[in-house]
Structure 1
Amino acid sequence: MFDVAIIGAGPAGASAALFTAKARKKTLLIDNDKGMTRRALLLNYYGVKEIDGPDMVDIGLKQAESFGAELINDTAVDLKKAGDTIQIETENGQYEAKHVILATGATVNFAEKIGVQTKEGTEPRIKKVVDVDAAGKTNIDGVWAAGTCAGMSVHAIITAGDGAKVAINVISELNGERYVDHDILEK
């Protein structure tokens, strides 16, 4: 069983996976490689002069995997609560996790299918978003959402930050106390 399963591996999902895996939480990252960041050119990402979307996604996935996140190329098709466990069904398998983070980008079809409440979106071309609280929690216990699907701006830097924020909140809940991750530069 995974501590955290993340559905979607764009900036929000990969950022969340990086944080959860680095915190030594057994992390599964499920992605079908159809995200909009694969079609982007990023000229406004802080600290990076210019990067194309495919490179950014690949670097983010490698970072998450370097800390132990397990990446599978698959599509989630169903999710069910079973006590304290969440069962995720994909086109090619089944997985269990204690927590799930939805990071499905511009689409909420999967969220609606599994009973997650949605609301009207505020971004151009984003009709609906997942209804989350300030921490990223949805109406289903143990299911969280981050990034554009959770109502954040479609800008990669914003969705990445939201993925990190939600991951920190999930880690904190798993640990039973507030989690902080600061690396120190050694001289």
Structure 2
Amino acid sequence: MYDVVIIGGGPAGQSAALFTSKAGKATLIIDDAKGLTQKAWVRNHYGVDDVAGGDLVKVGHQQAAKFGTEFVKAKVKNIIQSGEGFTIETEEGENYQAQQVILATGANQKLAQDIGLETKDGQEPYVKTVIVVDAEGRTSLKGIWAAGTAGGVSVHTIVTSGDGARVAINLLSELEGKRYVDHDVLDKKK
């Protein structure tokens, strides 16, 4: 069983995975590689020169993998509450178990609606529906969180990646029972 399964491998999902994996949580990203970022030309992402969205996603994948994130290319068709966690079913016939789930599904909220999460109208162009979340990123179903555009923030990659990190930190804080902080220190001896 995974501690965290993240559905969606764009900037929000991979940023969340960086934090959960680095914190030692067994993390899986399930992604169908059809996100909007794959088609973007990104010229406004802090710390990154102009970059094709697919290349930005590739770097995020490498960063998350470095900390142990696992990846599966698949389309999730259902999430079922089971015991203390969830069973995530894919169209490819595989099932995965998770204690916590983060939906980072971008502009597509069909899965969220199919499993009964509360949604509302989106504010961004091309984003018709978003998942209703509280201030920490929790959805209407305990144990399922939403990050990035799925959770109602701007479609810009810098914003969605920051929101993925924010939601992951809040999830980790809840699991640990205290505020989670991750700051590495530069070793000045090197």
TM-score computed with the length of structure 1 as normaliser: 0.98
Q: For this pair of structures, how many residues does the alignment match?
A: 187
Give 4+ residue runs of structure 1 displaced > 2 Å after superposition: none
Q: Secondary structure at the residue paired with 1:170?
A: helix
CA RMSD, Structure 1 to Structure 2 (Å): 0.8
How far apart, in 2, do the equivalents of 1:15 and 1:132 lie?
18
Q: Which residue of 2 aligns with 1:177?
A: 178
- Equivalence map 1:57-76=2 (5 Å): 57-76=57-76
Q: Deviations over 1:154-183 (max 9, x none)?
A: 000000000000001111112121110111
Unmatched runs of 5 consecutive residues or more in structure 1: none
Q: Percent identity?
A: 54
Amino acid at match of 1:130: I
Amino acid at match of 1:118: T
Q: Deviations over 1:96-119 (max 9, x none)?
A: 111000000111011000111101
Amino acid at match of 1:74: A
Q: Deviations over 1:61-109 (max 9, x none)?
A: 1111110011000111100112311111112300111100000011101
- Equivalence map 1:127-138=2 (5 Å): 127-138=128-139
Q: Which residue of 1 aligns with 2:82?
A: 82
- Equivalence map 1:13-162=2 (5 Å): 13-92=13-92, 93-162=94-163
TM-score computed with the length of structure 2 as normaliser: 0.96
How far apart, in 2, do the equivalents of 1:183 and 1:30 lie?
28
Amino acid at match of 2:156: H
How far apart, in 2, do the equivalents of 1:125 and 1:118 lie?
16
Q: Deviations over 1:45-70 (max 9, x none)?
A: 11112111111000101111110011
Amino acid at match of 1:82: S
How far apart, in 2, do the equivalents of 1:49 and 1:75 lie?
31
Q: Deviations over 1:122-149 (max 9, x none)?
A: 1122111000001000000100000001
